[in-house]
Amino acid sequence: MDSTYWGRGFGVMLFKDAITGENLYKQYIKQETTALYKAGISHIESLGYTIHAIVCDGKRGLLNGFNDTPIQMCQFHQVAIVIRYITKKPKMQASKELKTIIHLLCKTDKESFIGAMGDWYNKWMEFLNERTLDIKTGKSRYTHKRLRSAYRSIMTNLPWLFTWYDYIELKIPNTTNAIDGHFADLKNKLRNHNGLSRARKIKFIDEFLKA
């Protein structure tokens, strides 16, 4: 399940069956919330479907929002979070090595990834904890704040990054690629129809997702 937007205040939330590729439910939204995702899941269940697992992008509150259902955070989203912090071309050696490890996320198993992260942290722990004194305020702050944030995001989301591995029998996708590709195709087609009113845009989206 995932959402995409066209400007501020207009988006579509989509739920897709990973097994059949069927679009199960959509909802037009102003902003995505855990409550709306929960409502979508409840609606799908009311139709008679059984939810074995959920794959989502890991927005705050979402990963903890479904206690009785295995949740897989999209690994590509986690990679993107880390790259936003350390950039695509990091200069520090610690960042370069973290970039190499995070790009292995979608290609490796749980034990190997956790082992690589543990080795990285042990090597760079003192570097991560370096502090810089602000002469004006007299207070210190972490010198490599963005690198720390990148590391912290991985460790915070780690319990949901390998749900596909913990429940291997369910064959859970490790990314939301099926929906992301759908959204990309939809946006490309809508780009060829610039100037559509919102009502016509909704009709176009309805027909696209139905097809």
Hey, what are 111's tokens? Answer: 């034990």
| Portion of the chain with pLDDT greater than 70, in percent | 100
How far apart CA 81 and CA 176 sit, in angstroms, is 15
pLDDT at 196 (0 to 100):
83
What backbone torsions phi and psi does residue 79 show, to the nearest 5 degrees?
-60, -45
Q: Cβ–Cβ contacts within 10 Å for residue 52, how many?
A: 14
The pLDDT confidence band at residue 58, using thresholds 50, 70 and 90, is confident
| % of the chain residues with pLDDT over 90 | 78
37 vs 150: CA distance, rounded Å: 26
Greatest pairwise CA separation for the chain in angstroms:
63
**Dist CA 153 CA 79 (whole Å):** 10
Summarize the confidence of residues 172-196 as an average pLDDT: 88
- 18-27 long-range contacts (CB < 8 A, ≥24 apart) are 18/55, 18/172, 18/173, 18/178, 21/178, 23/182, 23/209, 23/210, 24/49, 26/209
Domain with CATH 3.30.420.10 in the chain: 1-74+175-211
Residue closest to 150 by CA, chosen among 210, 208, 78, 201: 78
What is the second-level CATH architecture of the domain 1-74+175-211?
2-Layer Sandwich (3.30)
Average pLDDT over residues 125-140: 92
17 and 37 Cβ atoms separated by less than 8 Å: no
Three-class DSSP category at 134: coil
pTM above 0.85, yes or no: yes
Task: Please state the rounded mean pLDDT for residues 75-84.
Answer: 97
